[in-house]
Structure 1
């Protein structure tokens, strides 16, 4: 598997890249090639006083490259200019990445409403599965909240086509997964022609065959709120969820469940987008 590892070379990014447990989890699920990527903002120019960012980032990437190569990964580095989420998606398409990884500090409720962060923008537009590594927020030497990335999974489903696509990720995640909680949230407007408990039990049987200890949960109410409440209760290392679409209109619609989970989850989030569309224009 080929992964994009997007970094701003901050202490938070260093916490994820230098975490041996995190790297071991990636190796277990089949990641063997990593593209380290950092984006220089387009409004920063080399001639600006004290703004030798590209040289500093090149040195930083070389340090990270050494760490990851020592861990056994094949590594390439990329320094690009532009809008972070667009350039990250662009490189992911160019190298045909299987996943994108980005670190994100925990945020306050107020900050969670600001839809300007790279993680939130990637949650809307990512072209490949997106792993958001949650990092401590108020620490000089931050660490990951839950470093065993895929050990305890929370999978949220509405039984849609893309929720099924997200569940398919267990085909490789299972090599690092020991426990899983499967949750479905029923809303008053929902009209399903299937029995949620039977559907969850069928999914649970699949995971049990892979020796993953699995439980199921059905809730009523607002999907985002209920999923986050279950996450707070079971404390998974990562929440797995599918996103809806990537249309221009969809990007402007705030408050989608996937974006809410990326913003509000205490632990890591693994977001699976719809299948790639041939000829899709990222810009």
Structure 2
């Protein structure tokens, strides 16, 4: 598997890229090549007074390459200029990576605003599965909040085609997953349309698949606002990562799951793994 790791060379990015446990988790799911990408925003120039961007970028990328290489991965670096999320998506397509990883502090200090906005824009437009790796917010020397990326998965499903595509990611995530919580949130409309369908039975079918892979699994059915209930379950079970499928981009707004994905990416305490639909050609 090939993975693209995006970095803006901030402390948050360094924590996400260099954490040994995170790298070990990527190796366990079959990753052998990491494309390290840094995007220089169009409004940043190397000749800006008091800032040697070129030298800082070179030192950081050399350090990242050594750390990642020592962990057993092949490493390729890309330095490009432009809108970060657009260039990251473009490279992800051109080198055909299987996943993009981006560190995010969420609401972060001004100096780290690029990685925050990039994570949000990637969540709206990603062309490959996207892992938003959550990093400590209020820390000068931040660390990732969930070192074991895929050890405990919270899988949220509405039983749609998009959700089933996300569930299929367990085919490789299972090599690093020990526990899983499967959650479905019902609304009044669901009860009217699917009165004869028991969501617990449907969750139990998927749980059986995971248990055959020696993943300890539990199921939960809730009722209410999907994003609110999913985040409530995350708070209760503290998973490493929330796994959710997406509907892709709409013509009006570049959204994945509409307001649900927006709220999960913005509000989740831990990591979020978004699986988009195959890109139409």
For Structure 1 versus Structure 2, the TM-score category normalised by the shorter chain is over 0.9
Name the CA shift for 1:85/1:233 in 2 (closer, same or farther; >3 Å): same
1:232 to 235, 244, 248: 235
- Three-state SS of the structure 1 residue aligned to 2:50 is coil
Q: Deviations over 1:249-274 (max 9, x none)?
A: 13169952112111100011111001
- Three-state SS of the structure 1 residue aligned to 2:100 is strand
Q: Distance in 1 between matches of 2:27 and 2:278?
A: 24
Q: Distance in 2 between matches of 1:99 and 1:154?
A: 19
Q: How many residues align?
A: 271
TM-score between the two structures when normalised by the length of structure 1: 0.92
Partner residue of 1:34? Answer: 34
Q: CA RMSD in A?
A: 1.7
- Contact kept in structure 2, 1:187 and 1:221, CA below 8 Å: yes
Q: Distance in 2 between matches of 1:19 and 1:75?
A: 16
TM-score between the two structures when normalised by the length of structure 2: 0.92
Q: Could you tell me how far 1:45 is from its partner in structure 2?
A: 2.3
- Three-state SS of the structure 2 residue aligned to 1:30 is coil
Partner residue of 2:54? Answer: 54
Instruction: Identify unmatched segments of 5+ residues in structure 1.
Output: 109-115, 279-283
Report matched runs for 1:1-283 at 5 Å. Answer: 1-107=1-107, 117-190=117-190, 191-192=193-194, 194-251=197-254, 256-278=259-281
- Contact kept in structure 2, 1:40 and 1:53, CA below 8 Å: no
- Contact kept in structure 1, 2:5 and 2:102, CA below 8 Å: yes
- Contact kept in structure 1, 2:37 and 2:78, CA below 8 Å: yes
Q: Distance in 1 between matches of 2:248 and 2:197?
A: 24
Q: Deviations over 1:212-266 (max 9, x none)?
A: 0000000000000000000000000100001112133131699521121111000
Instruction: Identify unmatched segments of 5+ residues in structure 2.
Output: 109-115
Q: Distance in 1 between matches of 2:256 and 2:241?
A: 25
Name the CA shift for 1:134/1:162 in 2 (closer, same or farther; >3 Å): same
